[in-house]
Structure 1
Amino acid sequence: METHAFRMQLKPGMVDEYRRRHDAIWPELAALLRDAGISDYSIFLDPESHALFATLKLAADNRRDTLPAHPVMLRWWDHMADLMEVEPDNKPREWPLVPMFHLP
């Protein structure tokens, strides 16, 4: 398993709605992520900057690269686009995080 970490940016005033939508994550989206080889996915908020920090585990045979074309993923991005910084196709903007330290 490989750990992948990245940052996203929430718009001001959208914290409660972001949490509400994730608390009600669609079962078909959760299944899609798992089927693509993603597990142990967590998102953390820096309340001062509204930055979201995410970590997830990727299986060696993951299919994460297929997700941007999947209709469920596209619907989720459209559903979330009003809350965060996004690309023209509504994919959340992501900034990769560089591993600096790990204590096993």
Structure 2
Amino acid sequence: MIRKAFKMYLNPRCAKTYEERHQKLWPEMKEVIRSHGGHNYSIFLDEDTNVLYGYVEVESEEKWQEIAKTPINKKWWDYMAPLMRVNADNSPVQDDLRNVFYLS
């Protein structure tokens, strides 16, 4: 299993809507995450900075990257785009974090 951590950037005053949408995550989106090897997915919010910190365990980088090509993922990006900083294709601006310590 590959452990990945990253940060994304929420727009001001969007935290409540962001959280509500994730509490009601579409079943199809859950399935595509799982079918592309995603496990133990968490997102945390720093309310002082509106920075979101994500953590996910993936089976393989290649399999995980394929999720971006799925129609349901693109639909999710479009749905979430008004709430956060995004790229031209509505994918969230995301910065990977480097692991500096791990204790199992």
Unaligned 5+ residue runs, structure 2?
A: none
Structure 2 match to 1:56: 56
TM-score, normalization: structure 2? Answer: 0.96
Aligned length: 104
* Aligned residue in 1 for 2:99: 99
TM-score, structure 1 normalization: 0.96
Aligned pair 1:42/2:42, yes or no? yes
> Whole-Å Cα distance in 1 between the matches of residues 71 and 43 of structure 2?
23
Higher helix share: 2
Q: CA deviation at 1:60?
A: 3.8
Residue 58 of structure 1 aligns to which amino acid in structure 2? Answer: V
1:70 aligns with 2:74: no
Runs of 4 or more above 4 Å deviation: none
Secondary structure, counterpart of 2:85 in structure 1: coil
Q: What is the CA RMSD across the aligned residues, in angstroms? A: 1.2
- Where does residue 79 of structure 2 map in the other structure? 79
